[in-house]
Amino acid sequence: MTVLDRFLKYVTFETQSSEETGTTPSTPGQRVFAEELVKELEEIGLEDITLDENSYLMATLPANTDKKIPAIGFIAHLDTSPDMSGKDVTPRIVNYKGGDIVLCAEENVVLSPQMFPELNDYKDQDIIVTNGKTLLGADDKGGVAAIIAAMKYLKDHPEIEHGKIRIGFTPDEEIGEGANHFDVEKFGCEWAYTIDGGQIGELEYENFNAAAAKITFKGLNVHPGYAKNKMLNASLLAIEFASWLPASQRPEHTQGYEGFYHLTNMSGTVEEASLSYIIRDHVRTLFEEKKAQLKMWVKRMNEIYPGSTTLELRDQYYNMREVVEPKKYIVDLAFEAMESVGVKPLVKPIRGGTDGARLSFMGLPCPNIFAGGLNFHGRYEFLPVNSLEKSMQTIIKITELLAQKS
């Protein structure tokens, strides 16, 4: 089974995570997918295969040499984003010659280089697209496929010397809970790589510092015919508050290292309203300033409308650069591996987060490597086949180079 075959099989599993259930995994489909992967790992001949009660799957490809080589790991996540349906995914392979790709004629869903100019980078390549009604699932079933295909290749090619390799698959990464129950000590590696990046060549060891905020507004509801000098409309308080946040610091106006406040949800009546934000910044001091600014705005609301506004604020994860940079050789190894398989490394900050960010602070330094997909979390997601194959080859080459250098 090729890496492409594996990917096409994996996307048929419905594995969207959910923030609503409060369970781990948050949806039963992730467990079903993990159990299927156990069978595949057994068939390949991996050892120490464990699937725990929270659906964290780990396995070992033993070293095939007596050389002292650090044990390293490769990690991907089982779930797909709740932002778009992952049920009944119907992938299609297109030999792309340029121009528009009609994903769904009846709903006029078109993947166009006018909207997505990155398509032009993949002319004359086979790309996997959706039917325009679901996401594809390259995030992160591309990573799962690349890891398992690489382990199969190494198992079938014992002439490639390598040390002990651990692989791990986590649930609920898309809702920020992928590292919640990850047993770093059990995994037993000096470092690892998440295979959860986007376009070919991505190599990332910087990510956002992240926090989540919920601001709740309490109003006073009276009959509108008798409301003068009495009514306090909570929904209008929320609108007023939202207007104070700088428009220039919204995601649609930022790039690179620039952080943002992102309004993710809002609800409201006269009696009560709420705004949910995620707060992001690569620079820790600016991140702390953003949180302090939010607290100041809440204080200001309560000065104008006493007792009206409360804030729930919690940190989610931090920039892994703090942990990875002192061990930069693990990034350099991946960089060299990419170049060795004909991939130009694109070292850049992640405008988001991965399991690797939290795992790094849990004692497992964990840069992120491309799986090849683009336009994640929506109907326009696509995956160039060559990029998926290069992801697999990069994993293999990392293990080979590490053995040569040890």
Structure tokens at 54: 């929270």
Question: Which residue's entry shows tokens 């194959």?
Answer: 389
pLDDT tens by residue, 140-153:
999 999 999 999 99
Query: H or E segment at 101?
Result: strand 101-104
- Which of 172, 173, 202, 389 does the annotation list as catalytic? 173
Question: Could you give the residue ranges of the DSSP H alpha helices within 59-183?
Answer: 138-156
Closest C-alpha among 245, 282, 284, 286 to residue 264: 245
- Which of 79, 172, 177, 202 does the annotation list as catalytic? 79
> For residue 199, what pLDDT is reported?
95
pLDDT tens by residue, 188-236:
999 999 999 899 999 999 999 999 999 999 999 999 999 999 999 999 9
pLDDT tens by residue, 323-379:
999 999 999 999 999 999 999 999 988 887 778 889 999 999 999 999 999 999 999
Single pTM value for the model: 0.88
Q: β-pairing, 382-384 with 126-129?
A: antiparallel
* Omega before 281 within 30 of 0, i.e. cis: no
Total Cβ atoms within 10 A of residue 258: 16
pLDDT tens by residue, 240-292:
999 999 999 999 999 989 999 999 999 999 999 999 999 999 999 999 999 99
- The Cα 144–Cα 3 span in angstroms is 10
pLDDT tens by residue, 376-385:
999 999 999 9
Report whether 201 contacts 375 (CB < 8 A).
no
377 annotated to bind ligand: yes
140 annotated to bind ligand: no
Domains (range + CATH), the chain: 1-204+318-403 (3.40.630.10), 217-315 (3.30.70.360)
- The Cα 40–Cα 42 span in angstroms is 5
Q: Which residues contact 126 (CB under 8 A, 6 or more apart)?
A: 93, 94, 95, 96, 384, 385, 386
CA 179 to chain centre: 12
139 annotated to bind ligand: yes
Question: Which residue's entry shows tokens 């940079």?
Answer: 325
pLDDT tens by residue, 206-219:
999 999 999 999 99
How far from 289 is each of 206, 258, 261, 292, 296, CA to CA, in Å? Answer: 19, 13, 12, 5, 10
Question: Could you give the residue ranges of the DSSP H alpha helices within 255-369?
Answer: 284-304, 321-324, 329-340, 355-361
173 counts as catalytic: yes
